[in-house]
Amino acid sequence: MKTWAVLFLGFSLLFVSGCTEEENAENQNESSEIESLLEEKKQLEIQLEETLEELENTKLEKEELEKAVASQSEENAEEEDLPEEEPVPSSSESVREEENNIGDNVTFGNVISTISDSDAEAEIKVQAENDWEDNNAMQEYVMDEQLEAFNYLKEIELTSESEHKLMEKAFDDWGYNFRMVKYIIDNEIESNEN
C-alpha cells in the first residue's frame, strides 16, 4: 500500500508540474503578445506624431500661400492704378512677339516652359529629400505633387502681359516650388476672371 501511495503521490506531482509548465508557456505567449501590442502601439503613436507634424506643416504652408496671394493681389492692384509705360522692345523681343502672333491672338512667353523636365525633376527631388529626409513616403508624395504642378504650369498659354508678369513674379518668389507657383497663378487668374 505504501508503494501505491508513493506512486500516487509521484504521479500527482508530475501532473501538477505539467500543468505549471503549460501555464508558464501560456503566460509566455500572452507576455509576447502584450509586448508585440505595446510595440505596435509605439509605432502607431510615432506615425500619429509624424502625421500631426505634417498637418501642421501643411497649415503653415497654406498660411504662407494665403499671405502670398494677398500680397500679390495688393501689388497687382497697385500696378493697375499706375499708368503703364510702353516698353521699347529689343530686336529679339520683337521677333518673339511676331512668332507668337497668331491672327489677333497674342501669346506671351511662359518662364516655366523654358525649364527642362529633367532639370525640374532633379531640383524637385533635392527639395523633397531636404524637406523630408527621413520620410520616403512624403518625399514621393511631394515629388508627385510638384511634378504634376510643373507639368500643368508649363502647358499654360499666357494671353496677357499681366499673366506673363504674374508667372515670372511667382517663379521668382517661389522658384522650383511649383505647387506654390500654381496656387498663386490659379488664384490670381481666377480672381481676375471674377
> Would residue 84 count as lying in a domain?
no
Strand partners, 132: none
Query: Which of 152, 157, 156, 155 minimizes the C-alpha distance to 178?
Result: 152
Type of residue found at 1: M
Q: What is the DSSP string of 107-174?
A: -B--GGGGS-HHHHHHHHHHHHHHHTTT-HHHHHHHHHHHHHHHHHHHT--B-SHHHHHHHHHHHHHH
- The reply to whether 136 falls in a domain is yes
Whether residue 160 lies inside any domain: the answer is: yes
The residue assigned the cell 508667372 is 167
Q: State how many domains the chain has.
A: 1
pLDDT digits (tens, 9 = 90+) for 35-68: 877 787 778 778 777 777 776 777 777 777 777 6
pLDDT of residue 143: 95
138: nearest Cα among 149, 127, 148, 153: 127
Confirm whether 166 is domain-assigned. Answer: yes
In a domain, 183, yes or no: yes
* 9 is a domain residue: no
**Which of these, 148, 146, 125, lies nearest to 136 by C-alpha position?**
125
Question: Is 126 a member of any domain?
Answer: yes
Q: For the chain, list residues with pLDDT below 50.
A: 82-104
The predicted pLDDT at position 103 comes to: 43
CA proximity to 157, closest of 93, 106, 94, 104: 106
Domain assignment present for residue 185? The answer is: yes
Do 97 and 103 form a contact (C-beta atoms < 8 A)? Answer: no
C-alpha cell, 142: 511631394
Range of the domain at 177: 90-194
